Amino acid sequence: MHSEPLYIGFIATPNGKNNHYVSLIPVPGTADSSAYCSSPQVTETNQEMPSPSRTNVASHHNSQITNVETNSQKLVNAGDNDGEQQQCKASFSLNDSSDIMNYDLPFHPHLSAIQKQVVSNRIYGSRTLSFQSHWFKRFPWLHFSRDKPGVLCFYCAKAEAMDISDLASKREAAFSTTGFVNWKKALCKFEEHSKSRSHRFSMNQLKQVSHSTSVDEQLFKKRANEQLEARKCLAMIFTSVKYLARQGMALRGHGDSEGNFCQLLNLRSEDYPLLQSWMKRKTDMTSPRIQNEILELYSHDIVRTIAGSVLKSGCYGLIVDGTQDISKSEQISICLRYVDEDLLPHEEFVGLYDPPSTTGATLATCIFDVLLRLQLPLSLLRGQSYDGASNMSGQYNGCQAIIAEQQPLALYVHCGAHCINLVSQQTVESVQLARDSLHCLQELGCLFSQSIKCRTTFSNVIQSENPLQKVHQINGYSMAC
């Protein structure tokens, strides 16, 4: 039994209606009084508490009373030992929302923060029951909330706050909303709740919510993965074209799948299964048009690299020559000559171009257009070299004269290869012995190239005279080396 009397009274609301029953029981060893309120939504009120009659005290001892004492709910019994008027100040949180959404794991506070339960009995008197620390280890889903009395089930309370537990059967409000405070039956209730369907349902719902994503996000991730896979396959297609072009090999064969390009991709797909599935698509980016486009991209990159090196050198020369291809179309080849940082000369071919005509003005316009496309300033041009044709080397209307008008520092030099060709031709025509020797050599070459019997006889003669010598085929002619 308590050493101090029990007080029973009412706390009035501001409007004078719905007064709430309050019981105060002094807790041994403390200056505060324990309280039980019939409604959790009680406004802060100071009310004089008259001394109760014996009948009320006896009837009250026949029932069990719960003590609610949290961080947000405190009842203070103020008074003195002379029996002055007792006043009770109750402070409850008006916000019924829980702070459980701020937690990712159950919150296990110090035991002093968890309310105690005072049980009164006519025979045994009153007892104070406390929450046990080992319950947190045995039932790790227990959670303490500042806004609720007692403890909650973390999963059930969070599912309730997220409004995803509506379909759970036999939900227990004590573990999800109001809070569990009956420590006398704690172990039994905890065991039953851990095995209940509502508890398992809430856990499954939270698991699905934590691992699930929205439809838009799923579609975005799937599209991003598809783009990444397509990018990898396209990179392999580019590198395959680059390899074949570097080795000077033909990409296409007689059929669509018989060329070197498709066979190389099939070989690489054995080590990369994703490429194998890519090759089975309707649009696999391996058509002849795509191949030509990839080659064009590589050629543009190479030309840009050459132009960057030329621009870095500070000056350059121009080499231009024209010829007809097998289709009788006139084409001019343009090369750039420059010296790098190590003083090593370079002659780089930048492309073939189709001029509408072969006049000096047209060829000069074509050259200006190429330099403009390569972003090479005409002010850095220091030399130009062509053949001796009048349209190229003409003093007044030739291509070199037109370019020299805009860049006087670009000196014209007759092409050395053309000079050697002209000198050799004039020399051979002037010396009869050299002319006849070259004529006989050409005739022998034509004979051996057309008759296998002559080639075999020639090889046998060479082997009989000198077994160490071998016959090599050079440009259609059999030569003994």
DSSP line for 444-467: HHHHHHH-HHHHHHHHHHHHHH-T
- Note whether 397 and 457 are same-domain residues: no
HSE toward the beta carbon, residue 168, CA cutoff 13 A: 26
> What pTM did the predictor assign?
0.52
- Note whether 79 and 135 are same-domain residues: no
Q: Are strands 381-386 and 316-324 parallel, antiparallel or unpaired?
A: parallel
Nearest to 114 by CA among 40, 179, 174, 29: 179
pLDDT of residue 473: 59
- Note whether 405 and 436 are same-domain residues: no
Per-residue pLDDT of the chain (481 residues; tens, 9 = 90+): 444 444 334 444 444 444 443 434 444 444 443 333 333 333 333 333 333 333 333 333 333 333 333 333 332 333 333 333 332 322 333 333 347 777 888 889 888 888 888 888 777 778 888 899 899 999 999 998 888 888 999 989 888 888 887 777 778 888 888 889 888 889 999 999 989 988 988 888 888 887 766 778 888 889 999 999 999 999 999 999 999 999 999 998 887 778 899 999 999 999 888 898 888 887 878 889 999 999 999 999 999 999 999 999 999 999 999 888 888 888 999 999 999 999 999 999 999 999 998 899 999 999 999 999 999 999 999 999 998 888 898 888 899 999 999 999 999 999 888 888 888 888 888 888 888 888 898 888 888 888 888 888 888 888 888 776 665 655 544 444 4
- Domain ends where: 66, 91, 116? 91
Domain presence at residue 42: yes
Q: Are strands 411-414 and 381-386 parallel, antiparallel or unpaired?
A: parallel
Domain presence at residue 291: no
- Note whether 53 and 124 are same-domain residues: no
Domain count of the fold of the chain: 5
- Note whether 303 and 414 are same-domain residues: yes
Q: Which residue has the tokens 């790790």?
A: 140
| Angle at 462 (CA atoms; ends 458, 468), nearest 5 degrees | 145
- Note whether 473 and 365 are same-domain residues: no
Cα distance between residue 228 and residue 93, in whole Å? 54
Cα distance between residue 65 and residue 23, in whole Å? 8
Collect all residues with Cβ–Cβ distance below 8 Å to 233 and sequence separation of at least 6.
Answer: 274, 275, 278, 285
| Angle at 16 (CA atoms; ends 15, 19), nearest 5 degrees | 120
Residue 186's domain comprises: 100-211
Domain presence at residue 191: yes
